[in-house]
């Protein structure tokens, strides 16, 4: 059983980088710990290069048929790497100031990244489960890395408990699936389910239990309780990483399972996903109205956004066809755009957090004190709200398009109302920044170089995709599994 | 032997695990209850593997991996619990609720 | 010359945004260069706009100067712009009024003094507005439609009056609510069209064949979006707040052009694509329009703030425009387009005057003003002239729009019941009397009477040369359109005939 | 014969599980967990999965339980009995019963017909060959997970100097 | 000459723009431009007039398309329509306007807005001439509203006092109500006949192309415009208040030109009116009622201008009633004559007031010695108004009474009603005329000598008076009854009018003379006007002592019931009901506006929207508290969610 090394190259490079980082951390004395970041940066860049080399190729399967590298996998792996790069750049200065163990931070980050890469390529329940764990375990530690800060400990505990709880439920679900179909390969499951008609009730139960695992990851409604506390407690770059990368990993897992394995049972779980999506977005947006802490606000807003991404799943129909294709592409496109918006917003929160503070009141009069930062934050917030000509509107347009294509008009109306509610709290921050007199906050915020780079990249991407949405749309349509 | 009995046993274990997680105040006990739930899944996998003996043996492989992953998680979990204990000298989950609303 | 034919429109729309970018990069201190840039980048599009006139053939129906490039191939949205008799006057109006605002802003800028931000936003606003009138692709239309929101939000929010924050967020949420439903309508239309397309012209061919039930639903969705922007009666409460709190230039642009985007939406998208739904909803639109006329007039009688009074008056005038559209006849639609341009010119002028009164008296409370004709004869004269034009004195611009709307309302499209529309005509007539009432009463309280004690000693400067330069075109247009309505009607008649043909008019 | 053995072991497991979640003494809790795990191991043997059984015994009972005991000891849990139930007890009971009811009925309805017949157990080498041929990817991933868990646990639990 | 007739309205309009821009810098501050322009228009008007008389049966019409607003017949044109009626009106408007402008040079000499006054005068004259010349209804509407605005500006000329600007506003709004009716009339005719052109409409109506119902509707609506502009009941309240403007303005606008526009409209569209008898009857009835009521009111006024104002309403009612009963030529002839003597009276009153610095007749009296020319011309004017034999009033008023009598004989009950009203009004007119002259020029001077020393007005004011007196005398001879009737030749509708009826003329003259005598004897002898405030009994008692039985009978029989209660009742109704209703309408609308704005707009609609916003906020707050911070509650939430979801989907099956 020879292995197609080209396909596995990115993962190999990353694992190599992983180990080097561990060893370098061992060797370097404390005051030189800063050097580790460039090494990990190089590692991720290497993985990215390997991925880009794979970009155009036809689908390859290796490692016993488990590891599939198709356009879907490559696109999302690239997204993960970019998110990791941004997080690394964002956290470099943050870690030095907060006195967090840098060596371990980068090592764990890369481990989590590796987990994400593998989940994108795995088409079987077992590797999906294990990759999910590889994404989560380092994340628990990252969340709790600010050991002296009690909140960080609490964040880690809550994150940990909730995560292993939902994993246990997912495993139970997977065992039932295995029981019914006798296989864990997604495509195989679909075939078996189609072949032997199975009782509705067991189908509902098992699908639901499996979805719980991913529901937790993407902060869907009944499973999102942990999000605000964990984001607020953990270091902000970790919160950013969780809200973008690990949420996307959750979606990747969910999309694969729903679209490949269970699309036969679509009639069963479609209304349920629709209900979850609507509840998620409404809960996220409504509670966000009342938040005063910027990270908590972004947490709730990310719950709202998760609701939007979930929506296309509610229009999947049993016999496939263009509707599924459009829905899948819409979700992917939204994920691509969402990553940059969210990353940007968090990086501004990090940039201003240290000097000004993390409460929205501290943002008062930012427009006068640091106009550049304020304008950029407005760009990200209004993009999240979906105002053209920023990327957010294109993302929302694709979702609207997919949902209306699926003839679920009332879902579209619900989302429309949600966008209006959402605008209110995004505008609340903008209002605080521009319409209020310059408070006593610091004049002229000094933003470290790397952080400026992250913000610049995110802004350029948000504006570019806003004007030419086809960049995201084309990439998304090309990389659908269905 | 009808497989249903085994499955009922595992769902019972699963439910007891859930009760343990929701009702027990001490974090370590919560961890134990979660082990229970994982074992329930394991039993399922093994019994299904036997039931579907003719087709595949994935069940057992899956069970193996669950056991290893459970061990890894438990390690990290305990580390977190100890960290909290060291900072707040309490392990009961009720008091660990600084961040709300 | 064919360069102009192909790219003239795009040039005239995107020059301002280039200007905005340049201003964004010039440092805050060099106010001179900023002002010069804003002037240049509003004048250039106007020049291009005028050159377009030469290339545009008056007599031809259908779209001209079209540019059709692919933009988002994956969802089939194209960059398709073009212009016809209905959108040309509105585009020219936009370019002209913004240029005049740029001139006015050379000297008078609202508090807090930040010309860089203000002028950049104004240019961005111009692109949004001009773009809406030339877009022929639903997605492009939606982008330009929403592009207008953010600059206006900041204009009201940053440089507005005491309750600016409330007014700004109210404006933003109201319009966003409308535009989101409009987007749903666009997408529903997109999917109903057999070769999925966002292109307005193709949709016009496919539209009528849609089942009437669907047409009504989509028309309603879009209708809400456009109605909020017009603003039609129940959705108008954002306008008075936005106007009272907006800075002078802000409310001039808001009144002169932003309101027209709603009515233009009806004319360009809702009615030609869904004629059946247009016929079913026409009486309702007519009713709301007439309610708006009388309701606004009554409200004006109760106003004490001059700008709020003018805001309500523009709700009334837009009521006449919508009445013209509701009749779905050639005369009605022609009257509507003329009414739009005339209202833009007159109300723009009124807001300029209200702004300059505020500059001098530092208050807009009518009870405190008085005897302005004695202290500021020229400004008083202009206020009287514009107010009289606004109440529809024949021979001035305001008259033709209203009179022809009422004329067409006497005899609407054959499918519509003429009795209801005659009731609308009578109500509209009563509206004109009330309009005359509150406007002249306002003139009496502001212009006439003795000068109140508080202004005795104060030094009040009359109209300054720069103000005159900014206002002269508007005044000339008010008189010119009144005496030579041919300027507008010749351009619009052919396109309107084309439009009403679709309705079986 | 297998039914009899299963009956006994099942009873043991049920009793131990219930006692685990209701005992007032922490250490007893750990011991009951040990009992459950041992019962599970016997079941695995019963179901002809010796390797998994032995792994269960080694890893779970050997390592995990010991780890938990260390955990209890380190967090200086009082040996005596202590109110270990939080105020959410009634809610927890209701929820767990509901879920048990739902899952057991559904499972019963689906699988009531099928019976298990014990044939020859598959040997360890087939299992081994399977892991390293078809399931080599999860194996690699699990190794990284363990590494990450290791580093993470050390970082978190280490005493800051 | 007729081909350049379009110059007539253009000269004054041009003058308006010139005065506005260059007036201030002219040596005499603008009035020379005004006078020059109107003089030029007068010359052209006379040329057109004589050319029109030469071939009076031809109508001269030229027009150019102004703009198209739809395909086919949808266009508006600018044009001129010259016929006898128009020619007559040109001469009247231009002459009176010229005289008033000359008169104003003196009257308004030191006014603060002298130039603006002349600008408005030119604007007014230009609009009026445009109204007269128009060959289509839209151009007429433009002139119509232009005249309305000019009168608003002129009435409110001294806008320092709120009363003046109120009067202007009231005038404009009341006429605007009428204008809306006029506009609707235009729409009905446009859709019925397919175009705005008057000639085309009349021909379509004549050929029976329009249904009877629509025709009546159109006629009534057009008449609404006339009611508004010519101050007929119920919209006549604005004319007396319009006296707040300068007197020359009243002379020009509220005597000769603007108020006549309503009558001119009915005359111009007579084809439409003629075709619907119902409309004609209505016109006649309105005319008759207004005629009597206004005459009554004139009887009890103290302010000289108010007397003349009500007298104008009454005379206008004459013209309207005449049209109502079909006496087309008589009505137009009355316009012609009335313009001269009413302008004369107004200017005369102006010169008196100029001398006495007050318009109230209480502080006048005995002015005939100090102001001989004004006195003489004023008497001529009054007698003409009263309709005494050789003067213009007699011929035109009798023509109308003849017409009314003729239609009454022809069997129309409305004809009788108008005939009786005409006779009664003739008598009342004579009465209030005599009273007015007596109070102003005879009796003891009631002004206090130190401040007021009345002297004859300067030349610029007296010359127009003399000229107008000349016209008051000789303008009548154009319309001699019977074959000699030149005027009928110029202006007629259909066939020539009926013959001269000596008996009727004699009777109306007797009536007028008795009215004069009555007024004279009562007021002249007792030097005290009917002082409504003091109780009438004291006066009544003194009267009895001095007069023999004959006078007593006379008084109790006719004068007292007429002069006393009826007049007072008429005045009371006018003030309390009609005027009050219009004022009430104004204040009520403002109150309604305030209610609509404060309660409906702010509370319900705006409140609703804000309510929604608060609702969302409250929901957010509610949900926020689910986030208790305790992980177990979260986990419980998770499993409750699972239980609920799976349960629901199982039940739903």
Dump pLDDT digits (tens) for E2-59.
788 888 899 999 999 888 888 778 777 778 888 999 999 999 999 988 888 887 778 8
Would you tell me how many other CB atoms lie within 10 Å of the CB of residue C423?
Answer: 15
- Cβ-Cβ pairs closer than 8 A, A with D, add up to 90
Dist CA E7 CA E3 (whole Å):
9
> A100 or A148: which carries more pLDDT confidence?
A148
pLDDT at C20: 93
Determine whether the interchain pair E593/C298 forms a contact, defined as Cβ–Cβ distance below 8 Å.
yes
Question: Is C372 part of any domain?
Answer: yes
| Structural domain that includes position C304 | 274-505
* Structural domain total, chain A: 1
Would you tell me how many other CB atoms lie within 10 Å of the CB of residue C206?
Answer: 16
DSSP result, A231-251: HHHS-HHHHHHIIIIIHHHHH
Question: DSSP secondary-structure letter at E197?
Answer: B
- Banded pLDDT at D121 (limits 50, 70, 90): low
pLDDT at B70: 93
pLDDT at E636: 84
* ipTM for the whole complex: 0.84
pLDDT at C41: 94
Would you tell me which residues 2-21 of chain B have a C-beta closer than 8 angstroms to some C-beta of chain E? 18, 21
Tokens coding A183: 């296989």
Delimit the domains of chain D by residue range. 2-157
pLDDT at E529: 46
* Structural domain total, chain B: 1
| Structural domain that includes position A478 | 263-482
Dist CA A288 CA A153 (whole Å):
24
3-state DSSP call for residue C81?
A: strand
- Counting as contact any 3 or more CB pairs under 8 A, the partners of E are A, B, C, D
Per-state percent for chain B, helix, strand, coil, to nearest 5? 80, 5, 15
pLDDT at E497: 56
Q: How far is C109 from chain A (nearest CA, A)?
A: 17
pLDDT at E297: 79
Residue A249, pLDDT above cutoff 70: yes
Question: Is C37 part of any domain?
Answer: no
Domain spanning D2-157, CATH class: mainly alpha
- Banded pLDDT at C23 (limits 50, 70, 90): very high
Residue A300, pLDDT above cutoff 70: yes
Tokens coding C284: 């309702």
- Percent of chain E whose predicted confidence (pLDDT) is above 70: 88
Question: Which residues in chain E have their CB less than 8 angstroms from residue C497's CB?
Answer: 70-71
Region for residue D121 given its phi and psi (left: phi exceeds 0; alpha: psi -120 to 50; beta: otherwise): beta
Average pLDDT (D26-36) is: 89
What CATH number corresponds to the domain at position B10?
1.10.287.3510
Residue A33, pLDDT above cutoff 80: no
> Which tens digit of pLDDT belongs to each residue from E523-542?
655 544 444 334 444 554 44
Of E70, E156, E592, the CB nearest to C298: E592
Question: Is B95 part of any domain?
Answer: no
Question: Is B82 part of any domain?
Answer: yes
Tokens coding C417: 């019941």
3-state DSSP call for residue E646?
A: helix
Question: Which residues in chain D have their CB less than 8 angstroms from residue B64's CB?
Answer: 51-52, 55, 131
pLDDT at E483: 60
- Banded pLDDT at C151 (limits 50, 70, 90): very high
| Nearest chain D alpha carbon to E631 | D88
| Nearest chain D alpha carbon to A111 | D148
- Banded pLDDT at C263 (limits 50, 70, 90): very high
> Which tens digit of pLDDT belongs to each residue from A380-421?
999 999 988 899 999 999 999 899 888 888 999 999 999 988
Determine whether the interchain pair A179/B48 forms a contact, defined as Cβ–Cβ distance below 8 Å.
yes
Dist CA A395 CA C75 (whole Å):
12
| Structural domain that includes position B56 | 3-88
> Which tens digit of pLDDT belongs to each residue from D133-155?
788 888 889 999 999 999 999 98
Residues in chain E, pLDDT under 50: 527-537, 540-551
Q: Is the bond into C231 cis (omega within 30 degrees of 0)?
A: yes
Average pLDDT (A111-127) is: 92
Determine whether the interchain pair B13/D36 forms a contact, defined as Cβ–Cβ distance below 8 Å.
yes
pLDDT at E302: 78
Q: Do C84 and C63 meet the contact criterion of CB atoms below 8 Å apart?
A: yes
Question: Is A336 part of any domain?
Answer: yes
| Nearest chain D alpha carbon to B12 | D100
pLDDT at C394: 87
Residue A268, pLDDT above cutoff 50: yes
pLDDT at E564: 58
Residue A79, pLDDT above cutoff 80: yes
pLDDT at E549: 45
Question: Which residues in chain A have their CB less than 8 angstroms from residue B80's CB?
Answer: 140, 144, 153, 156-157, 160
Q: Is the bond into E312 cis (omega within 30 degrees of 0)?
A: no
Question: Is A296 part of any domain?
Answer: yes
Length of chain C: 505
Cα distances (angstroms) measured from residue E500 to each of C176, E394, E400, E423, E478? 80, 13, 12, 17, 14
Question: Is A74 part of any domain?
Answer: no
Average pLDDT (C104-111) is: 87
Residue C344, pLDDT above cutoff 90: yes
Average pLDDT score over chain C: 89
Q: Does B26 touch chain E (CB under 8 A)?
A: no
Question: Is B58 part of any domain?
Answer: yes
Strand-pairing partners, residue E197, are: E136
Question: Which residues in chain B have their CB less than 8 angstroms from residue A156's CB?
Answer: 80, 83
- Cβ-Cβ pairs closer than 8 A, A with B, add up to 114
Average pLDDT score over chain E: 81
Region for residue C81 given its phi and psi (left: phi exceeds 0; alpha: psi -120 to 50; beta: otherwise): beta
Nearest to E614 by CA among A126, A421, C378: A421
Residue A194, pLDDT above cutoff 90: no
Residues in chain B, pLDDT under 50: none
Nearest to A277 by CA among A403, A381, A159: A403
Determine whether the interchain pair B22/E625 forms a contact, defined as Cβ–Cβ distance below 8 Å.
no
Residue among C28, C75, C186 with most chain A CBs within 10 A, to mutate: C75
Residue C143, pLDDT above cutoff 60: yes
Determine whether the interchain pair E68/C433 forms a contact, defined as Cβ–Cβ distance below 8 Å.
no
pLDDT at E547: 38
Residue D60, pLDDT above cutoff 70: yes
DSSP result, E243-281: GGS-HHHHHIIIIISHHHHHHHHHHHTHHHHHH-HHHHH
């Amino acid at each position: 059983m020879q292995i197609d090394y080209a396909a596995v190259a990115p993962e190999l490079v990353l694992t190599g980088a992983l180990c080097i980082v561990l060893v370098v951390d061992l060797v370097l004395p404390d005051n030189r710990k800063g050097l580790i970041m460039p090494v990990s940066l190089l590692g991720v860049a290497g993985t990215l290069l390997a991925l880009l080399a794979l970009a155009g190729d036809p689908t390859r399967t290796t490692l016993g048929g488990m590891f599939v590298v198709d356009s879907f996998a490559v696109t999302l792996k690239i997204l993960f790497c970019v998110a990791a790069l941004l997080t690394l750049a964002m956290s470099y200065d943050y870690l030095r100031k907060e006195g967090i163990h840098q060596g371990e931070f980068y090592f764990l980050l890369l481990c989590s990244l590796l987990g994400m890469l593998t989940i994108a390529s795995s088409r079987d329940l077992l590797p999906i489960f294990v990759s999910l764990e590889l994404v989560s375990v380092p994340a628990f530690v990252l969340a709790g890395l600010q050991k002296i800060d009690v909140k960080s400990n609490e964040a880690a505990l809550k994150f940990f408990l909730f995560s292993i709880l939902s994993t246990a439920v997912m495993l139970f679900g997977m065992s039932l699936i295995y029981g019914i179909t006798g296989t864990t390969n997604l495509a195989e499951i679909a075939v078996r389910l189609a072949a032997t008609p199975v009782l509705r009730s067991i189908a509902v139960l098992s699908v639901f239990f499996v979805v719980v695992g991913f529901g937790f990851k993407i902060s869907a409604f009944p499973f999102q309780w942990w999000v605000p506390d964990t984001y607020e407690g953990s270091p902000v770059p970790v919160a950013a990483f969780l809200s973008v990368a690990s949420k996307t990993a959750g979606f990747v897992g969910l999309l694969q399972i729903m679209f490949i394995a269970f699309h036969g049972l679509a009639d069963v779980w479609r209304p349920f996903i629709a209900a979850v999506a609507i509840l998620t977005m409404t809960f996220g947006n409504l509670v966000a109205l009342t938040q005063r802490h910027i990270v908590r606000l972004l947490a709730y807003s990310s719950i709202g956004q998760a609701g939007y991404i979930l929506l296309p799943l509610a229009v999947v129909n049993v016999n496939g066809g263009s509707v599924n294709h459009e829905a899948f592409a819409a979700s992917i496109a939204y994920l691509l755009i969402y990553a940059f918006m969210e990353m940007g917003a968090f990086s501004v929160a990090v940039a201003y957090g240290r000097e000004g503070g993390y409460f929205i009141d501290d943002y008062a009069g930012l427009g006068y004190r640091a106009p550049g930062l304020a304008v950029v934050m407005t760009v990200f917030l209004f993009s999240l709200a979906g105002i053209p000509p920023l990327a957010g509107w294109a993302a929302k347009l694709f979702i609207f398009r997919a949902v209306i294509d699926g003839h679920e008009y009332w879902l579209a109306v619900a989302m429309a109302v949600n966008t209006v509610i959402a605008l209110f709290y995004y505008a609340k921050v903008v209002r605080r920044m521009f319409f209020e007199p310059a408070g006593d906050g610091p004049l002229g915020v000094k933003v470290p170089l790397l952080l400026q780079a992250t913000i610049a990249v995110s802004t350029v991407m948000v504006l570019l995709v806003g004007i030419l949405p086809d960049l995201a749309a084309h990439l998304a349509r090309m990389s659908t599994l269905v | 032997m009808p497989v249903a009995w085994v499955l009922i046993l595992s769902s019972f274990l699963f439910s007891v695990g859930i009760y343990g997680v929701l009702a027990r105040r001490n974090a370590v006990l919560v961890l134990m209850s979660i082990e229970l739930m994982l074992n329930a899944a394991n039993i399922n996998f093994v019994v299904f593997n036997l039931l579907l003996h003719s087709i595949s043996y994935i069940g057992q492989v899956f069970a193996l991996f669950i056991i290893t992953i459970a061990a890894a998680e438990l390690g990290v979990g305990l580390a977190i619990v100890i960290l909290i204990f060291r900072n707040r000298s309490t392990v009961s989950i009720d008091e660990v609720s600084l961040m709300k609303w | 010359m064919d360069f102009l034919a192909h790219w003239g429109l795009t040039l005239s729309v995107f020059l301002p945004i280039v200007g905005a970018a340049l201003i964004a990069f010039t440092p805050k201190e060099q106010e001179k260069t900023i002002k010069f840039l804003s002037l240049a980048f509003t004048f250039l599009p106007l020049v291009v706009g005028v050159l377009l006139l030469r290339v545009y053939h008056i007599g031809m129906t259908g779209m001209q100067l079209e540019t059709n490039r692919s933009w988002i191939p994956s969802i089939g949205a194209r960059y398709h712009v073009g212009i016809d008799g209905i959108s040309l006057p509105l585009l020219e109006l936009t370019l002209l009024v913004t240029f005049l605002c740029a001139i006015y802003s050379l000297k008078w800028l609202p508090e807090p003094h930040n010309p860089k931000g203000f002028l950049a936003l104004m240019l961005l606003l111009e692109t949004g507005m001009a773009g809406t009138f030339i877009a022929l692709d639903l997605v492009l239309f939606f982008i330009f439609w929403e592009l207008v929101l953010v600059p206006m939000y900041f204009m009201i929010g940053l440089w507005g009056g005491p309750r600016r924050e409330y007014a700004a967020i109210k404006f933003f949420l109201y319009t966003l609510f409308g535009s989101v439903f409009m987007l749903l309508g666009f997408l529903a239309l997109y999917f109903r069209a057999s070769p999925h397309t966002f292109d307005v012209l193709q949709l016009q061919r496919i539209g009528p064949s849609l089942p009437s039930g669907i047409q009504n639903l989509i028309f309603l969705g879009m209708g809400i979006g456009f109605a909020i922007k017009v603003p039609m009666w129940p959705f108008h409460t954002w306008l008075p707040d936005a106007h009272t709190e907006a800075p002078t230039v802000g409310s001039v642009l808001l009144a002169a052009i932003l309101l027209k985007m709603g009515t233009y939406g009806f004319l360009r998208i809702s009615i030609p694509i869904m004629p059946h739904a247009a016929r079913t909803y026409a009486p309702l639109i007519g009713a709301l329009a007439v309610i708006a006329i009388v309701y606004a007039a009554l409200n004006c009688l109760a106003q004490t703030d001059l700008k709020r009074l003018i805001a309500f008056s523009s709700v009334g005038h837009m009521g006449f425009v919508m009445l013209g559209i509701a009749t779905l006849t050639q005369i009605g639609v022609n009257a509507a387009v003329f009414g739009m341009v005339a209202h833009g010119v007159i109300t723009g002028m009124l807001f300029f005057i209200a702004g300059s009164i505020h500059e001098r008296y530092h208050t807009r409370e009518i009870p405190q003003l008085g005897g302005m004709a004695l202290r500021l004869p020229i400004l008083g004269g202009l206020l009287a002239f514009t107010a009289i034009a606004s109440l529809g004195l024949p021979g001035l611009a305001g008259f033709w729009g209203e009179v022809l709307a009422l004329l067409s309302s006497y005899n609407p499209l054959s499918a519509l019941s003429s009795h209801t529309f005659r009731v609308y005509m009578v109500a509209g007539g009563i509206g004109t009397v009330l309009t005359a009432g509150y406007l002249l009463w306002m003139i009496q309280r502001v212009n006439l009477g003795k000068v109140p004690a508080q202004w005795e000693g104060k030094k009040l400067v009359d109209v300054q040369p720069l103000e005159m330069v900014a206002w002269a075109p508007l005044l000339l247009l008010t008189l010119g359109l009144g005496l030579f309505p041919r300027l507008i009607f010749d351009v619009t008649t052919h396109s309107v005939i084309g439009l009403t043909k679709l309705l079986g008019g | 014969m297998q039914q009899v053995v299963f009956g006994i072991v099942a009873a043991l497991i049920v009793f131990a599980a219930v006692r685990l979640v209701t005992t007032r003494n922490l250490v007893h809790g750990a011991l009951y967990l040990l009992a459950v795990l041992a019962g599970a191991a016997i079941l695995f043997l019963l179901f002809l999965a010796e390797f998994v059984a032995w792994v269960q015994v080694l890893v779970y009972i050997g390592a995990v339980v010991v780890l938990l005991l260390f955990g209890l000891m380190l967090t200086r849990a009082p040996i005596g009995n202590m109110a270990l139930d939080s105020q959410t007890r009634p809610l927890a009971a209701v929820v767990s019963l509901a879920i048990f009811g739902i899952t057991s009925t559904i499972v019963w309805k689906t699988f009531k017909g099928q019976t298990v017949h014990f044939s020859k157990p598959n040997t360890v080498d087939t299992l081994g060959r399977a892991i390293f041929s078809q399931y080599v990817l999860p194996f690699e991933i699990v190794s990284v997970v363990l590494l990450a868990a290791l580093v993470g646990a050390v970082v978190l639990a280490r005493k800051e100097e | 000459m007729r081909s350049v007739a379009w110059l007539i309205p253009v000269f004054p309009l041009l003058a308006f723009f010139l005065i506005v821009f260059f007036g201030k810098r002219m040596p005499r501050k603008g009035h020379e431009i005004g006078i020059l322009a109107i003089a030029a228009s007068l010359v052209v008007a006379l040329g057109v007039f004589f050319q029109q008389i030469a071939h009076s049966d031809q109508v001269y019409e030229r027009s150019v398309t102004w703009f198209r607003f739809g395909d086919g017949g949808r266009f508006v044109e600018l044009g001129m329509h010259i016929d006898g009626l128009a020619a007559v009106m040109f001469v009247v408007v231009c002459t009176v306007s010229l005289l008033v402008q000359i008169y104003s040079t003196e009257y308004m000499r030191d006014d603060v807005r002298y130039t603006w006054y002349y600008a408005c005068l030119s604007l007014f004259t230009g609009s009026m001439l445009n109204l007269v010349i128009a060959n289509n209804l839209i151009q007429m509407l433009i002139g119509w509203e232009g005249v309305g605005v000019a009168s608003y500006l002129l009435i409110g000329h001294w806008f320092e006092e709120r009363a003046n600007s109120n009067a202007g506003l009231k005038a404009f709004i009341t006429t605007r109500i009428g204008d809306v009716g006029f506009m609707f009339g235009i729409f009905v005719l446009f859709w019925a006949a397919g175009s705005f052109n008057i000639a085309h409409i009349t021909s379509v109506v004549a050929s029976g192309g329009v249904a009877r119902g629509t025709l009546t509707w159109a006629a009534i609506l057009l008449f609404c415009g006339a009611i508004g502009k010519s101050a007929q009941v119920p919209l006549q309240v604005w004319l007396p208040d319009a006296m707040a403007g300068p007197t020359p303005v009243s002379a020009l606008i509220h005597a000769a030109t603007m108020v006549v526009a309503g009558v001119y409209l009915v005359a111009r569209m007579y084809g439409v009116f003629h075709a619907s008898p119902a409309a004609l009857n209505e016109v006649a009835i309105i005319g008759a009622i207004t005629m009597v009521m206004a005459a009554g009111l004139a009887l009890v006024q103290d302010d000289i201008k108010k007397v003349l104002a009500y007298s104008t309403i009454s005379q206008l009612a004459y013209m309207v009633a005449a049209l109502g009963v079909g006496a087309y030529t008589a009505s137009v002839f009355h316009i012609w004559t009335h313009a001269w003597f009413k302008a004369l009276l107004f200017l005369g009153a102006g010169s008196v007031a100029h001398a006495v610095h007050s318009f109230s007749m209480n502080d006048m009296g005995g002015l005939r010695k100090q102001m001989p020319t004004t006195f003489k011309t004023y008497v001529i004017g009054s007698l003409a108004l009263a309709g005494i034999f050789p003067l213009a009033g007699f011929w035109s008023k009798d023509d109308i009474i003849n017409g009314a009598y003729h239609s009454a004989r022809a069997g129309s009950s409305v004809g009788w009603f108008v005939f009786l009203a005409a006779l009664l009004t003739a008598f009342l007119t004579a009465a209030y005329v005599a009273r007015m002259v007596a109070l102003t020029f005879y009796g003891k001077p009631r002004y206090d000598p130190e401040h007021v020393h009345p002297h004859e007005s300067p030349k610029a004011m007296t010359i127009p008076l003399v000229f107008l007196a000349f016209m008051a005398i000789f303008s009548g001879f154009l319309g001699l009854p019977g074959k000699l009737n030149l005027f009928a030749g110029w202006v007629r509708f259909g066939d020539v009018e009926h013959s001269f009826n000596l008996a009727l003329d004699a009777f109306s003259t007797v009536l007028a003379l008795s009215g004069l005598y009555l007024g004279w004897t009562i007021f002249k002898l007792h030097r005290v006007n009917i002082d409504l405030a003091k109780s009438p009994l004291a006066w009544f008692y003194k009267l009895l002592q001095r007069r023999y039985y004959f006078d007593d009978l006379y008084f109790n029989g006719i004068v007292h019931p007429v002069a006393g209660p009826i007049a007072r009742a008429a005045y009371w109704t006018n003030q309390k009901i009609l005027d009050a209703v219009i004022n009430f309408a104004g204040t009520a609308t403002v109150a309604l506006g305030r209610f609509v704005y404060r309660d409906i707009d702010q509370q319900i609609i705006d409140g609703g929207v804000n309510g929604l916003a608060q609702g969302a906020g409250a929901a957010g707050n509610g949900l926020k508290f689910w986030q208790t911070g305790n992980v177990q509650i979260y986990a419980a939430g998770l499993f409750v969610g699972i239980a609920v979801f799976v349960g629901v989907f199982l039940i739903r099956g």
